[in-house]
Structure 1
């Protein structure tokens, strides 16, 4: 391996704070001094401050901040192309960016930003970083246990089950249109944005994995989505009153990084939604109850 490709390159989106920052901290602590971890986010000042803090807090690997807005597909593509040109590709990509959704505002008025960041960002990362992922690399999307298909009304299952990435994107835009036209509920979409968004994220990962499976398994490459469990962050705190069982971001990051940094990828996890090293079956789950819906503004 030549000097350009001797070190590992890792990139985390949505990494200014919370779980994203903890993932960068964990990568920087567990990777080597010749490796590079890119901490990315939308705000230049916050990115620079977070990267400096992580780099000066006992990191073994090099840490650099990089402004990256995952809702800008061209910017995501340009970043992937630059890393491919400068470093010969990337070894670890963790798509973690999410927009904060608040319970005191209607779900509908928050839909565009939530969908653009969580779903548009996931699609952009998969499309642009998949082709520059080195053999043996890891491409991980942070989702949740709500991302299994059974959490949607059965009428919606054909939109995502066995879908291509293009079809997932079409389904997401259909959902967005239904939210704005106020026809979402009658079509079976839950009012809580997190459910269709997470299902679509997992479906997008499954779509890309299905196309690459044979080649990736032959090289020990892993593409998967992960559920980190309940994490005490600024994004989740407004939704829950009891955080006694929640993990700190550092605790939640540990299981994700164990998966990412495992010497050998488990083929059984390829393309799946993984929680604490175990697969959450795609067809499991039940749609939100009427009571759940009433609790959603």
Structure 2
């Protein structure tokens, strides 16, 4: 990586995103810059002030307003960082919209998909080209993101797909959710599952195109599963948090991957959980969160 490193985290004013910024700011060097981004100016400013003033902070920390659903804004920020710093070294795409079990998921699908999937696609498209040698481009996903979590009839939509094909599959799924035909087509009821599979498929699509040039340059493109994390986003969906991690605990394995001296080729383009690759075809189909918790 360059002597002065630039790191950026999306969805970073709370939860694991905030913990990742805290960890980066504590483990990177004084001349390095960590960008804490989010779509609410006041929350971004408040979170940035907290990290900047923390006793363990070593690097510079700046807040940036960024709505990952605005593809033009994502592209402008990537261009700005390329022009001002020659690119970026660490990008963690972490933004997500909260969904709750008290409302029909069809009513919440658009924002959730726009942030989790549209945002992932925008970050991959705009920040992949501005990664400097030694760079890391990481998408925070889930163990629910393996292809085996979907009905086999849906596998061809994502297995070996290009990024354009993944985007098309996501939009087809979205249309089925709104039309009320998603379940009969084999899609899980819990929209988190297809969304996570699509996130990992998007990472795999980009990685497949970049692998031959990235590995010699020590660049990593990967998805990560931080485990079950105790946050306001996950709280409404699960009853037992006895084994859940705090955001700070969950961030450690992600930070270890991001800040490793060299890329492990076996992790390139894969979904990594606590340092281990989760095979793309692993997992079993489930319709909703209750079935998933029983598997």
* 1:119 equivalent in structure 2: 117
* 2:10 equivalent in structure 1: 13
> Which residues of structure 1 form unaligned runs of 5+?
none
Structure 1 residue 260 corresponds to structure 2 residue 258: yes
Runs of 4+ off more than 3 Å: 289-295
Structure 1 residue 274 corresponds to structure 2 residue 272: yes
Identify if the C-alpha distance between structure 1 residues 219 and 37 changes in structure 2 by more than 3 Å, giving closer, same or farther.
Answer: same
2:21 aligns with one of 3, 21, 24: 24
Q: TM-score, normalised by structure 2?
A: 0.97
Residues 16, 41 of structure 1: 8 Å contact kept: yes
Residues 286, 292 of structure 2: 8 Å contact kept: no
C-alpha offsets along residues 10-42 of structure 1, whole Å, 9 cap, x if unaligned? Answer: 000000100000000000000000000000000
Measure the CA separation in 2 of the matches of 1:187 and 1:103: 22
Measure the CA separation in 2 of the matches of 1:126 and 1:48: 25
* 1:151 equivalent in structure 2: 149
- SS for the counterpart of 1:141 is strand
Q: TM-score, normalised by structure 1?
A: 0.96
Query: What displacement does 1:294 show?
Result: 11
Residues 12, 23 of structure 1: 8 Å contact kept: yes
Aligned runs of 1:87-126 on 2, under 5 Å? 87-126=85-124
Measure the CA separation in 1 of the matches of 2:276 and 2:216: 21
Residues 92, 138 of structure 1: 8 Å contact kept: yes
Measure the CA separation in 2 of the matches of 1:238 and 1:182: 24
Q: Which moved more, 1:284-293 or 1:154-163?
A: 284-293
Aligned runs of 1:2-81 on 2, under 5 Å? 6-58=3-55, 59-81=57-79
Identify if the C-alpha distance between structure 1 residues 125 and 290 changes in structure 2 by more than 3 Å, giving closer, same or farther.
Answer: closer
Measure the CA separation in 2 of the matches of 1:67 and 1:31: 22
C-alpha offsets along residues 107-153 of structure 1, whole Å, 9 cap, x if unaligned? Answer: 11110000000000000000000000001100000000000000001
Measure the CA separation in 1 of the matches of 2:183 and 2:246: 35
